[in-house]
Structure 1
Amino acid sequence: MPQARRKTPFSGKAKKQQLQCKKKNKTLLTTTSSGTSAYDVLSLNYQPGRSRGGRDTNRYALKFYRETDEELKMKKEEALKSLNPVPEKEMEVDPSDYFPKELSFPKRPPWDFNMTPAQLDAQEQKYFRTYIDDLQASDHWKDMSYFELNLETWRQLWRVLEMCDVLLLIVDVRYAGMMFPPSLYEYITKEKKSMILVLNKVDLVPASVVAGWREYFMTTCPGLRVVYFTSCPGYNLRGATSDKAGLQVRRRKGKQRMCAEGATKILEACKDIVQGEVDLGSWERKIKEETNIEFDDEETEVGETIIEKADTTYYAHEKYKNGVLTIGCVGQPNVGKSSLMNAIMGKKIVSVSRTPGHTKHFQTIYLTPQVRLCDCPGLVFPSKVPRPIQILMGSYPIAQLREPYTAIRYLAERVNLPQMLRIDHPENDDTWSPRDICDGWAKKRGYLTAKAARLDTYRAANSLLRMALDGKICVWLRPPGFTEQREKFETCEELKYIKWVQALTADDQVAVLSSSDDERSRSDGDEPDDDDDSESEDDDEFTAAIANKFAALAGDD
């Protein structure tokens, strides 16, 4: 009788590592100061058993509080209720409603050079636990949204704030008011440093809305400099920018060009700050020399500093040390920090992904010998921003959503999705619910479950949310008072520079404006392209070059 295979030796250390891996892969639990389990913490993008060279690849994994089963059940029941369209006036948001003064971000506790790394680590761990406990005990806790719970990620922010001379805060202009934490502006002002707010993705919204947000921030935050940017100016796109139903379409060309317009606005802001204390001539020459140079989007030149252990180092800031301007880049996940850095450089230097928290490690890149960029991982600051908006902003991984219908409701009540997607009601009714929209989209796209061949509603919901994140379905929030002052912003002088950064043709501008009109008539017989990746022959033959406006405005004051 053959004998069974002898078991291979399995040490106690290996067994301990296996149990730790399983524990991390499951939902983690935080404890209150009393030691009792209080809230679930979900570790997102976790990779079990992944390590390279002894470095834990999950050190900077996103961590958020997890919804309870009762909350999920209630939200799924709400998905069956009909939609209530929201008027444009209610799409105005006041950032002060979502970032109360009492709600600040965690700041590095005091330190000195006599402390050992172990002492500093223990002090920061204790401070962060106390910070979380204080939030849980506050009146704001029940209304708080997802925010970063990983101390290692906050440590990266602390390093950037210590090193930088100028802080570059990047926000998605569609949700600008929800991504600008006033506590960060107040901290930078207190440290006597300068801050530049970059309104990114300005090609997705009308120029008047961009101008409205600029005026709001410059009025409420004295000394703040506001600039515009897009990594998809008109000359890097091909074909039309929207279809007849209002869906946004942005097809990149194979060869890309440096986004000289946006880079120029950032350069001008930095010149105004340094006042000649740093020679920025090399940066200006770089922009002029690379304005018309095309590069392959697949080229990669990665420059990064990998932190292999807990980052407890400290840095005594010295302004413009060695004649170098240090620019820190901070922003929430999916606002386009990496794309912005690639576009400024004129080539791909930072890997880009739509997954929140893709940039995991502190990265230092020299733009020129006199200009250094420091990129921080995407951070979700503590706030009272509604969770559906956080999902649409890309702060939470769509693939890991347990209940996507609340975000679909928020989207569908502000955009006429049935008309835009050209979907039929699954039950031939006149009243739509979030579930009906998902079923209609699943039917149109052929999303079916594997076993029962039923409509895959969950997959359809994820598809719609990804389209919203990418800008194909475009929703943008307005600054306070925009509706009453619309005419003012539609005729202001600032539109000239916004459209210059967008680098869109006149037809493209009309397409962006018309996509916001929920009452536009439905064209009979016109069907949108069901394949997101398909392109018409006309698009393939589209070769009309859009002139770069850098030379035109080079001498414009």
Structure 2
Amino acid sequence: MGKNHKVGLGRALVKHHNKMILESKEKGRFYRSQEKVLESVTDINDIDAVIGQADEAARLFSSDNPVPNLLVDQGSSSGVVSNITPLVEMREQQMIEEALHASSLQVPRRPPWNAKMTFEELDTNERQAFLIWRRSLARLEDNDKLVLTPFEKNLDIWRQLWRVVERSDLLVMVVDARDPLFYRCPDLEVYAREVDKHKRTLLLVNKADLLPVSVREKWAQYFRHNGILFVFWSAKAASTALEGKTLDLPEERVSEDPDTNIFLREELLSRLQSEAEAIVMMRRQSDRAPTGVMVGFVGYPNVGKSSTINALVGQKKTGVTSTPGKTKHFQTLIISEKLTLCDCPGLVFPSFTSSRYEMIASGVLPVDRMTEHREAVQVVANRVPRNVIESLYKITLPKPKPYELQSRPPHASELLRAYCASRRYVASSGLPDETRASRQILKDYIVGKLSHYEMPPGLEPEVGMETISESEEVTESGSESEFESDEGDIEEDAMLEDLKSFDLANGLVDLEKKVSDASKKRAEKAPHKQHRKPQRKKDRSWRARNQEEDGMPSVVKVFRKPANTGPVTVR
């Protein structure tokens, strides 16, 4: 054989390796995209997104602070200026628009595909379908009567969801027990049915240890009435049990009812496996148990998907953090030969009504990235009762003014300044460090230190809200009558005293007085004033007055000095 004609096993392996590299480079976009770390994109930095966020903030401000109608009601005898706000009408119109466009608010669908399609064709179809979905949501954002929350805008994150939905036999949607309907996405359940008509969705109500048994019973009644498959669960309690410890729960949160009881680790695993096997047998139309099933976990960020999977597996397999969006790729975990779990990255689904600040307070958007902290803290102040905040933080919040509604929630500025004063949080400028205080308060609310929970619609909230609204109407009417009856007795000094700011009401009056006194003293001790002699008042008491008051000028007495006779000689 010639020198240039080389034949051998090593040369064949090298040629095969080079051929595989060339083929992978032709498909290379897929491999290059896998090298990048997936990041959740709910905010876009281009100018169009910035303008959209400004429009959203303007709409939120106009809805929260409507322009008052300052026209004088000629029919009223008092002639007082009326302050009628169309807030109720705006909310009604918004609800009508939401119901009208509810069908347009969907999760993106994966276009039809098959195994014979190339990667380029599949990628092009997915991008076109995703672009059409983005355009449909952009039309909703242009509607001034609708407020669309931030949602996931990264196509690769939605691709993770598509894979999990297609692979899973049973889809588990993890929600927060304090507000399950906020974290539930009904259209995702519809999409799962579109992929497979036998596929079902289980609502895993996590953090159920934060709810009393009475509230769990009402939520169970609501889920059964609407045909929702649900399970109460606590990843924290399960993780504590794996460590050999027990989570001490109050008596009001311990239940023996199977519908309201918090499932243990073994109970939840058996329930998931039985539900998934029932779906597979229904799909195959046979009574033979399948060899293996897969259960997928989906939901919003920071609701406890990864914590739940770690508790079910028995060891840490996925990263867990309080910052939303820790999980980047879906991953499968084998529990046994018959059960496999699939964890999906958290997604922010598009929805109506809830603002950006509510999503920050709920832990969906990162707390450390917020720029407007007072609005998010105001959400917490509106939800948590005043006495709960005062007892937890050992602070005293300012009481409402006499002319305000006594049952109003505290303002965010009042809560933040009281919190900063108790913790001595001061910024470099010398002002209260409200940013640090707001982050701490929001994290306490997300973790559950500030107890709060929502009631299911149609049961207690309507009755409670009617009672509250009636009491508010009675209070307002009573206050108006009292104001009209005592209108003439209100003094101007008292009103000015009530209108003092929060700083003056929290002990800063003395500080201001001390500062003013010190400034006066410094002014008196100024160098340019030291050379001036103090002015003496002239003594005019020697002048005689006219006692008769007859209009004649008074006689002035003249005093003369004794004549100087010279020095006095002392003998």
Smaller-chain TM-score range? Answer: 0.5 to 0.7
Aligned to 2:310: 342
Q: Deviations over 1:67-103 (max 9, x none)?
A: 645765897999999xxxxxxxxxxxx9x97993331
Aligned to 1:419: 390
Aligned to 1:472: 449
Amino acid at match of 1:480: P
For 2:158 and 2:247, how far apart are their aligned partners in 1? 42
Q: CA deviation at 1:159?
A: 0.3
For 1:231 and 1:105, how far apart are their aligned partners in 2? 27
Cα pair distance change 1:361/1:120, threshold 3 Å = same
Contact preservation (8 Å) 2:233, 2:263: no
More helix, by proportion:
2
Aligned to 1:288: none
Amino acid at match of 1:397: P
Cα pair distance change 1:423/1:264, threshold 3 Å = same
Q: Identity percentage over the alignment?
A: 28
Q: Deviations over 1:267-289 (max 9, x none)?
A: 225314524978xxxxxxxxxxx
For 2:295 and 2:247, how far apart are their aligned partners in 1? 35
**In the alignment, which of 85, 105, 121 is matched to residue 119 of structure 1?**
121
Aligned to 2:188: 184
Amino acid at match of 1:424: T
Q: CA deviation at 1:324?
A: 1.5
Cα pair distance change 1:180/1:77, threshold 3 Å = closer
SS in 2 for 1:104: coil
Aligned to 1:536: none
Cα pair distance change 1:165/1:71, threshold 3 Å = closer
For 1:140 and 1:435, how far apart are their aligned partners in 2? 32
Q: CA deviation at 1:208?
A: 2.3
Contact preservation (8 Å) 2:331, 2:343: yes
Q: CA deviation at 1:180?
A: 1.2
Cα pair distance change 1:276/1:377, threshold 3 Å = closer
Gaps of 5+ in 2: 1-30, 45-49, 67-94, 254-261, 405-409, 465-571
Q: CA deviation at 1:370?
A: 1.7
TM-score in terms of structure 1 length:
0.58
For 2:41 and 2:181, how far apart are their aligned partners in 1? 23
**In the alignment, which of 307, 326, 343 is matched to residue 294 of structure 2?**
326
**In the alignment, which of 24, 43, 62 is matched to residue 64 of structure 1?**
43
Contact preservation (8 Å) 1:105, 1:382: yes
More relative contact order, 1 or 2 (CA 8 Å, 6+ apart): 1
Aligned to 1:196: 202
**Root-mean-square deviation (CA), in Å?**
4.0
Aligned to 1:434: 412
For 2:369 and 2:339, how far apart are their aligned partners in 1? 38
**In the alignment, which of 332, 335, 346 is matched to residue 367 of structure 1?**
335
Q: Deviations over 1:333-361 (max 9, x none)?
A: 01100000011112222110111111011
**In the alignment, which of 348, 358, 362 is matched to residue 380 of structure 1?**
348
Contact preservation (8 Å) 2:417, 2:432: yes
Cα pair distance change 1:198/1:97, threshold 3 Å = farther
Q: Superposition pairs for residues 57-456 of structure 1, below 5 Å?
A: 57-64=36-43, 68-69=53-54, 100-138=102-140, 142-190=146-194, 191-192=196-197, 193-220=199-226, 222=227, 224-233=228-237, 236=241, 261-275=264-278, 323-387=291-355, 388-417=357-386, 418-420=389-391, 421-425=393-397, 432-449=410-427, 451-456=428-433
Cα pair distance change 1:124/1:321, threshold 3 Å = farther
TM-score in terms of structure 2 length:
0.57
For 2:248 and 2:43, how far apart are their aligned partners in 1? 39
More strand, by proportion:
1
Q: Superposition pairs for residues 439-518 of structure 1, below 5 Å?
A: 439-449=417-427, 451-483=428-460
Q: Deviations over 1:161-187 (max 9, x none)?
A: 111111111111111011111111122
Amino acid at match of 2:390: Q
Aligned to 2:531: none
SS in 2 for 1:232: helix
